[in-house]
Structure 1
Amino acid sequence: MAQIGVLYRLVATITCFVCLGFNVGMCSESDALIKTYVSSSLQSNDGFVKSAKLKVHKISGSEWDSLVIKSELPVMVLFTAQWCGPCRVISPMLDKLASGFTDRLKFYTLDVDQDSDIAERYFVRSLPTTIIFKDGNKVARVTGVDLEKISELVKQFV
């Protein structure tokens, strides 16, 4: 389920038709069904609809050095793409981890279609790929949807 602020005072709860509110990791607040429903049910959504705030922020290649390489904290980056279904499985888990380790580890996503040069630099060939950076260096990597291993790495590097 996702809560979407409408006109800053009214909050509408939209239930995804796939999971019917039983959030078992298959849907997220960025689910395409929710976005489609909200955008089609409003005459204009120019600034009146804002989605729930996620803990994991999307970054671009221009922010890479300042947010990842120069970070004083360890950083976990999920390399993803909009078309990647398995990436949507990991996103809700990263949001939960990010809220639990706020001041000890930073969490970001990077779209490989928009910033292919960064993905090439770290030899990201399949999605999702999760890489942990510490002091600007790659220290750990998980390819695919291995939620248990990602959780272990987070605990190891905090």
Structure 2
Amino acid sequence: MSVYHLESQDVFESTIKVSTLTVVHFSADWAAQCAQVTEVLKELSKLPEVQASGIKFYVCDAEKLSEISLKFMVDSVPTVIFFQNGCQVERVDGADASQITNKVKKYSIDKDASDAVIPQKTLEEELKRLINKHKVMVNPTIRGFESIEDVAKEKSWNIFP
């Protein structure tokens, strides 16, 4: 996987509308930090969990596509904006490689590991979890009460100390 270049506004608009995370790096040729951020994105694109998640990385020339830069308030380069379903979900202003990496990893999923770690709960397991969540569970219909307020009015029940 690699980092792709966005050449037009139409391509940009269609690129950010996908449901998977799209990472767009607004850069300029004259800024040395932009080259560093591009290298970070190239390395991130090689990670197995990032590839499994379908995250795509793009570079957008902030000066060439100035309308897009204005629309997303890109005041300085490098700026990395994270899009999902056409909406901005995260943003990193500046060449903060650790922050960019953390945000990408936050959205990346190792699908094989997630299936193994988080099994689908059955209805019975979920009910047991809910029942055992609190020490006392009051069922107002046991003694013929209409609501929990009626239970609270009953002097033999001290549920609101």
Identify the TM-score tier after normalising by the shorter chain: 0.5 to 0.7
Q: Tell me, yes or no, if structure 1 residue 72 matches structure 2 residue 19.
A: yes
How far residue 66 of structure 1 moved from its aligned partner, in angstroms, is 1.3
How far residue 62 of structure 1 moved from its aligned partner, in angstroms, is 2.3
* Separation (CA, whole Å) in 1 of partners of 2:66 and 2:76: 12
* Separation (CA, whole Å) in 2 of partners of 1:153 and 1:72: 17
Which structure shows the higher strand fraction?
A: 1
* Separation (CA, whole Å) in 1 of partners of 2:46 and 2:19: 18
After TM superposition, which residue ranges in structure 1, 4 or more long, deviate above 4 angstroms?
A: none
1:92-131 counterparts in 2 under 5 A? 92-100=39-47, 101-104=50-53, 105-131=55-81
1:2-21 counterparts in 2 under 5 A? none
* Separation (CA, whole Å) in 1 of partners of 2:30 and 2:52: 31
How far residue 72 of structure 1 moved from its aligned partner, in angstroms, is 2.1
Describe the superposition over 1:83-141 as per-residue Cα deviations: whole angstroms up to 9, x where unpaired. Answer: 11110111111101012222421110100111000000000001100010111110111
Q: Tell me, yes or no, if structure 1 residue 91 matches structure 2 residue 91.
A: no
SS in 1 for 2:77: coil
| Higher Cα Rg, which structure | 2
Identify unmatched segments of 5+ residues in structure 2.
109-161
Which structure shows the higher helix fraction?
A: 2
Identity of aligned residues (%): 30
Q: Tell me, yes or no, if structure 1 residue 63 matches structure 2 residue 6.
A: no
Equivalenced residues, count: 104
Partner of 1:156: 106
Identify unmatched segments of 5+ residues in structure 1.
1-53
